[in-house]
Structure formats: C-alpha cells, structure tokens
Structure 1
C-alpha cells in the first residue's frame, strides 16, 4: 500500500506568520504553489497553512490590502496533518471528511506536503483499487489458514493466529466497502469442519 511519504511533495518552503499576504502571494506565484505551510514559532508550536482560498475568501473578497494583512490573520492553525506512514486511501478519506485539498506531512518535523493531485497522479488507485487488493489478500489468507489448520490441528496456536488474520482482513474489507458480511470466513470453515467448533482456541468464535 502506498503511503503519504511515497507520494508527497518534498519541495516545501514555509512562511512566517508575521509575513504579509502580499509576500505569501509572491512566493506562491514564484513557486507555482496553491498553499504555504506557516512556520512554528517554537518546537512545541503547531504548524499552520495558508491557501489560495484563504486569500481569495478573506482578503480579496473584502477589498483588503494584501500588504497590510498578515498571514497569521487568515491562516488555519493548527492545521490537519498527515503521518508519513498513513495509507493513500486513508489520506483520501481524511480529505473527504474535512473538505481538504492538501495537508502537511509531519513526524516531529515537516517532511513534505500531500495534495489531492498527488493522490490522483502518483498513487495506483486506478490500476490497483484498495478493495481489489484487500479481497485478494483475504482469499490468500483464507487459503493459508486452511492449509495451516490441516497441517497442524484445529486446536493449534498457528491455526488460531491464521484465522485472526482472516478476521482482520475481512473486517477491513467490510469497512472499505461499507457493507456487512452475512457470514465470516471462519463461520464457513466451521460449517465445513464441525469439529472445529469444539477446538479450545475457537470455542467462542463459531456461531450456531
């Protein structure tokens, strides 16, 4: 799964909160950016962000002089940040939930910035949709769990661990597809091998 660190833009320049909006506009124009990360005043401070929309909606729309308005007056702070290890589909969901177009990637320090353009242009969501990948992983996990249980026993710790993996994958796939499975893969396994219902590690897992 691609992560934020795999698709983010590393070329990020910050701007001071005390800078004028006019200075921010010039920096955006010179670098071709649509937003800027606002520097922290000290290590315990939060990062901020100023975007084209902030400038249009809060300065231009009211006829204010960009040379007289400071960045800190219109920025968003603290801004929503992304962990570098966050998967692309979760970044997309975060953006959708909060109506975001971009967010800084931070782990202690500023590492980069990730945007909707990065998600579309650098991820493989068209070739490899996450639901398709998860479904394949689930089928592989089910096959492996069956093989392990056949090679050991229904009561073995390896068998229990293998079905734990199946349950986790099936739950993630159900969440991804926003639907509920009528029967878990392990329940189907119990139907096929009734003796598994009495196994010590599984005695609370099987329904019926």
Structure 2
C-alpha cells in the first residue's frame, strides 16, 4: 500500500500558498499561473484554510460578488481534514469520500508538508492497479497457457 508520503514524492512537495487578506482575484491568478486547483491559505507558518476553484464558483460567482473585491478569508474553506504522511492512500480516499472534500492538507505536527487532491489519490490507485495487473499477467505467462 502506498502512503501519502509516496504521493508527495511523486508530485513534489512544494505548496503554493496565499495569505487570507489577498483578494480572490489574486488567488485565482496564482492558481492559473501554477496550474493548480487550490492554494493553502497561510498566516505566517500556520495553515488557516484552503481556497479552491470550487470555493470561488460557489461563494463568489453564485452570490454575485466580485473576485477583486472579495478577500480570500471570506470564502476559504476552514474545515480541514489533515492527514499524516504515513497514512495510506486508501485511508485518504475514504476520508475524502466520507467528508466530501477534494483536498487534504498533509501535516507533520503543525508543519504543512503539502496538499493532496482527489486527483492525486485516484492517479496513485490506478497506477498501483496497473502494476498489479502487469505482475499477474507476467506470472500467467511464466506459468504457461494453462496456468489458471
């Protein structure tokens, strides 16, 4: 079973972040420039929330607000579900499904190590399944045509 640490090693552990007093427009521009769907919202070294494209769509556009006049702190998600780098990918998938969230902050104590997305988790699971299938196919070939 792969762990969250493995996902961070594969995708890189750099975390793009923004402050809570930045405008939503600035956050969106950073997300577009970095090609990410969410940013950590940091006050100094402390994680205070996550802002995602979904937050923008549901809390700015649908409420008739303007992204240049709305602060990140007004729409960021503050109910976070941190995971430890040694947790399994399956535990993360279950948590994301149960809590209906697309992003999990990876924390070691109070230190933010990264953020994993539902896409990262699904990609890892698919990759592992492909390796298992390949291994099983190789074993069948080694055992001859009448193996199983």
**TM-score, normalised relative to structure 2:** 0.78
Match of 1:31 in 2: 34
* 1:54-83 deviation line (CA, Å, top 9, x unaligned): 101110112211111000000111421111
**C-alpha distance in structure 1 between counterparts of 2:22 and 2:28, whole Å:** 11
**C-alpha distance in structure 1 between counterparts of 2:79 and 2:123, whole Å:** 27
Runs of 4+ in structure 1 deviating by more than 6 angstroms, as ranges, are none
The correspondence of residues 1-208 of structure 1 with structure 2, limited to 5 A, is: 1-8=1-8, 9=11, 10-41=13-44, 46-107=47-108, 108-123=110-125, 124-127=127-130, 128=132
* 1:151-202 deviation line (CA, Å, top 9, x unaligned): xxxxxxxxxxxxxxxxxxxxxxxxxxxxxxxxxxxxxxxxxxxxxxxxxxxx
Q: Is the 8 A contact 1:40 1:48 kept in 2?
A: no
Whichever of the two has the greater Rg, that structure is 1
**TM-score, normalised relative to structure 1:** 0.57
Aligned length: 127
Shift of 1:98: 0.3
Question: Higher strand share goes to which structure?
Answer: 2
* 1:42-63 deviation line (CA, Å, top 9, x unaligned): x6x5431011111011101122
* 1:85-122 deviation line (CA, Å, top 9, x unaligned): 11111011000110111111111211111111111223
- Asked which structure has the greater RCO (Cα within 8 Å, sep 6+), the reply is 2
Where does structure 2 lack aligned partners over 5 or more consecutive residues? 134-148
